[in-house]
């Protein structure tokens, strides 16, 4: 089975287009690194290190990649610059594979014995959290799943209103109590309603106030505790949404949220509008949390499951 065999033509084109700015920036920098040079030497590696760091791969992940290429150069004695793209592609793919996470082939969730699969979504304002929830609900519905949304980001009226609009657009039910309601109460009601309706998936929106991590931690802990009373082990997934266009700031947010709560999945949005898509590589490597979804456009279908091999192949294509 080929890398793109599970992708529709539209999905492949969407990924190509979504990563276009990152790809053009990265490959042009890489080309300049090897101009006039026939072999990979210390000078080329120094310049490659700068290329990776300025592509928002991150310092620690960049050093890992450089060390691996250095080891290969030491072993093979002579490595031509014409081989650099292929070697770099292999090492980045290998690094992503070491996360020990399986690529999703489609929008699917495991079956849960005691009720629907519960996804709690976290992330700061402005990263595309509510939009991601709407798109995720749409993809699950298209996959034949019965979805219920919970509007537990009750500190911003706009967040509740936006999620209501998405529920109407996608055609899935929503549980909401308006602004300033108790988020845990909204989550509790959402799970009760979803269980009664025989839903397959519940997606709970939450507030993301990173400026006060203690309050955020307490709030998320309370929401989790309340949900587990309705469905044991809920939430099954804590999905952190990050804005890829912010580069290393996204990585810093990921670290802060990992302190506040036990995130176990990532969605990286807005990759179509940035040349900083390399941040996907760094975050995946450093956080050891799987990137499950990437946003590669503004359309309702432009949220894709993240496939490591397809991402790398597209980046170097």
Cα gap 140→154, rounded to integer Å: 24
**Segment of 72-81, 97-106, 207-216 carrying the highest mean pLDDT:** 72-81
pLDDT band at 125; cut points 50, 70, 90: confident
pLDDT band at 155; cut points 50, 70, 90: confident
pLDDT band at 6; cut points 50, 70, 90: very low
What's CA 105's distance to the chain center, in Å? 15
Give the phi and the psi of residue 262 in degrees, each rounded to 5.
-90, 80
Domains identified in the chain and CATH numbers: 9-97 (1.20.120.140), 117-307 (3.40.50.300)
The encoded tokens of residue 65 equal: 């990649």
pLDDT band at 132; cut points 50, 70, 90: very high
In three-state secondary structure terms, 108 is: coil
Q: Please return the burial class of 232, using the count of CB atoms within 10 Å of its CB with bins 0-12, 13-18 and 19+.
A: exposed
Cα gap 210→220, rounded to integer Å: 12
Residue 99 has what pLDDT?
67
| Residue that the structure tokens 């760091």 belong to | 53
Residue 212 has what pLDDT?
64
* pLDDT above 90: residue 113: no
Q: What mean pLDDT is predicted for residues 51-73?
A: 93
pLDDT digit string (tens) for 158-169?
Answer: 899 999 999 999
**Number of H helices and number of E strands within the chain?**
12, 8
Cis bond before residue 235 (omega within 30° of 0): yes
Exposure of 204 in the CB half-sphere (CA atoms within 13 A): 30
pLDDT band at 243; cut points 50, 70, 90: very high
pLDDT digit string (tens) for 274-303?
Answer: 999 999 999 988 888 889 999 999 899 899
| Residue that the structure tokens 């939430």 belong to | 235
């Amino acid at each position: 089975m080929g890398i793109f065999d599970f992708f529709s033509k539209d999905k492949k084109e969407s990924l190509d287009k979504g990563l276009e700015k990152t790809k053009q920036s990265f490959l042009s920098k890489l080309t300049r690194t090897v101009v006039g040079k026939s072999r990979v030497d210390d000078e080329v590696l120094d310049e490659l290190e700068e290329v990776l760091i300025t592509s928002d791969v991150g310092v620690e992940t960049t050093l890992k990649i450089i060390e691996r290429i250095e080891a290969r150069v030491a072993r093979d004695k002579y490595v031509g610059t014409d081989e650099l793209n292929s070697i770099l592609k292999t090492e980045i793919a290998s690094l992503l594979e070491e996360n020990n996470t399986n690529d999703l082939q489609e929008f699917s969730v495991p079956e849960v014995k005691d009720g629907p699969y519960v996804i709690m979504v976290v992330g700061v304002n402005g990263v595309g959290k509510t939009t991601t929830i709407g798109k995720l609900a749409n993809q699950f519905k298209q996959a034949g799943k019965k979805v219920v949304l919970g509007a537990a980001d009750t500190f911003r009226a706009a967040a509740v209103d936006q999620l209501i609009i998405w529920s109407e657009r996608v055609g899935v039910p929503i549980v909401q109590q308006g602004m300033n309601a108790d988020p845990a109460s909204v989550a509790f009601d959402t799970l009760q309603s979803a269980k009664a309706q025989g839903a397959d998936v519940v997606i709970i929106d939450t507030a993301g106030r990173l400026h006060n991590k203690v309050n955020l931690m307490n709030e998320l802990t309370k929401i989790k505790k309340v949900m587990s009373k309705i469905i044991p082990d809920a939430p099954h997934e804590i999905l952190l949404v990050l804005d890829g266009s912010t580069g290393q700031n996204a990585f810093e947010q990921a670290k802060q949220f990992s302190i506040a709560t036990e995130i176990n999945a990532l969605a990286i949005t807005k990759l179509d509008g940035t040349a900083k898509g390399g941040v996907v590589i760094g975050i995946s490597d450093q956080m050891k949390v799987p990137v499950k979804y990437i946003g590669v456009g503004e359309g309702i279908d432009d949220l894709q499951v993240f496939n490591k091999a397809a991402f790398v192949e597209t980046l170097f294509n």
